Structure 1
Amino acid sequence: MIGAGSVEDMLAEIRLLLQFPRHSRLAGLKLHTDAEPMLRLAAERLYSKGLISQADGGYLTDRGIEAANYAQLLVDSLQPTMH
């Protein structure tokens, strides 16, 4: 079972992954020192997991692109559908 803190951490990581541009390997993002602390910590965790190129953002790695694509697929799947 995943603890409550872990779920919050993972949601912050997913939120950050979804902010990265996935259309180009030449586009990334940079978290500034005044960024939300939860996102800064999420970036550090994503970096330590090898999903982004730098602890304060940078670019998605190959593994990061795959994770971001899965995150987007999950978000799209959870969107309400029109019937």
Structure 2
Amino acid sequence: MPFNQELTDELNLILKFPNKSLMQGLKIHHDADPAMVSAAQRLFDKGIVSQPDGGYLTDLGHDLAEHAQVIQSALTHT
């Protein structure tokens, strides 16, 4: 199954989270790109972030962020 636009939006949002500290998160404002607002809500519904508007990555979110970074690095490395 290929990545659809919703999954791509979710992966892109996961990659925006700071990876240097567990004490840093993101706040997706209500007037942000509607695709990002929706992606944040879906990530919350899946237990990947702590709040519907971003918050912090959960343990699952941290694991997924690490994998997403590896995939991104492998696919963009030339």
Normalization by structure 2: what TM-score? Answer: 0.94
Q: 1:19 and 1:79 mapped to 2: Cα distance?
A: 16
Matched, 1:11 2:8: yes
Identity of aligned residues (%): 45
* Off by >4 Å, runs of 4+ in structure 1: none
Question: For residues 7-53 of structure 1, what are the alpha-carbon distances to aligned partners after superposition, in whole Å with 9 as ceiling and x for unaligned?
Answer: 10000000000000121111001001111000000000000100000
Alignment of 1:1-83 (within 5 A): 1=1, 7-81=4-78
User: What letter matches 2:54 in structure 1?
Assistant: G
Q: Which runs of 5+ in 2 are unaligned?
A: none
Structure 1's unaligned 5+ residue stretches are none
Normalization by structure 1: what TM-score? 0.88
SS of alignment partner, residue 59 of structure 1: strand
For the residues of structure 2 that align with 1:10 and 1:79, how far apart are their CA atoms? 18
